[in-house]
Amino acid sequence: MRNCPRILVIDDDKRICEFIELYLRKEMFEIGICHDGAQALEVFRKNPPSLVILDIMLPNQDGYQVCHEIRKISNIPIIMLTAKGENFDKVLGLELGADDYMVKPFDPKELIARVKAVLRRFQPQSSNIRQIAYPDLYVNLNEHQVVVRNQSIELKPKEMELLYFLVSHANKVFTRDQLLEQVWGYEFLGDSRTVDVHINRLRQKLQNKSNAWELKTIWGVGYKFEVK
């Protein structure tokens, strides 16, 4: 029986892998390492880890492809790494299902903090049923189910958590930093664009579904689930 979370590090730079492994082992994590996208997917399927640290620039299959394939079969947390800092890279990674994003070079202490924060968020659901209903909307977090006007809506894990948090606090405004802390589990470490991306994705999936509620932007402040 495994006592420590296992982290799968996927990066073609062996020095980066050794660097990450050194710091993670000090924190008592078990480590697996892959330098190739296709190999990483094979390893993942045979022995799923507790969390994946995933570089974008990989041989055979890049990080975006690997993230996409993992999300087809698992909601295991993924932290993406890249030397690129363009907003397009961040948005694409988040839309594909990554839970967090770091740009190289990075502070190892920050990486450790993010790993621990993401793992804290990824806990088995409790036996208590967490569900809530409004006109035209039913959300069940335990069963990962959203129904709008008798139609099931497919959401990614973090989209589901964000929606459930907002509908559980109807008509209350939250800043991006508050949502990062409550849904992603850390404060001031994440890029606020993470929240924007997920709100936009939710809107695309829920827009024009009901006149009874909406995901509303409060300009200069944040977001709220408004019940009319």
Burial class (CB in 10 A: 0-12, 13-18, 19+), 145: middle
Q: What is the pLDDT of residue 102?
A: 86
Which domains does the chain show, CATH number per domain? 6-121 (3.40.50.2300), 131-227 (1.10.10.10)
Q: What is the pLDDT of residue 128?
A: 58
Rounded CA separation 8/151 (Å): 37
The 10s digit of each residue's pLDDT in 46-104 is: 888 999 999 988 999 999 999 989 988 888 899 998 876 655 567 777 778 888 888 88
Q: What is the pLDDT of residue 19?
A: 92
Rounded CA separation 7/74 (Å): 15
At a CB cut-off of 8 Å and minimum separation 6, what does 128 contact? 142
Which residue numbers in the chain have pLDDT < 70?
1-3, 84-89, 123-129, 186-191
Q: What is the pLDDT of residue 76?
A: 87
Using CA atoms, how far residue 163 sits from 103, 157, 160, 201, 221, in Å, is: 27, 10, 5, 11, 18
Q: What is the pLDDT of residue 212?
A: 85
Per-residue tokens: 21: 């492994």
Q: What is the pLDDT of residue 7?
A: 95
Q: What is the pLDDT of residue 84?
A: 65
Q: What is the pLDDT of residue 34?
A: 96
C-alpha atoms less than 13 angstroms from C-alpha of 146 in its C-beta half-sphere: 17
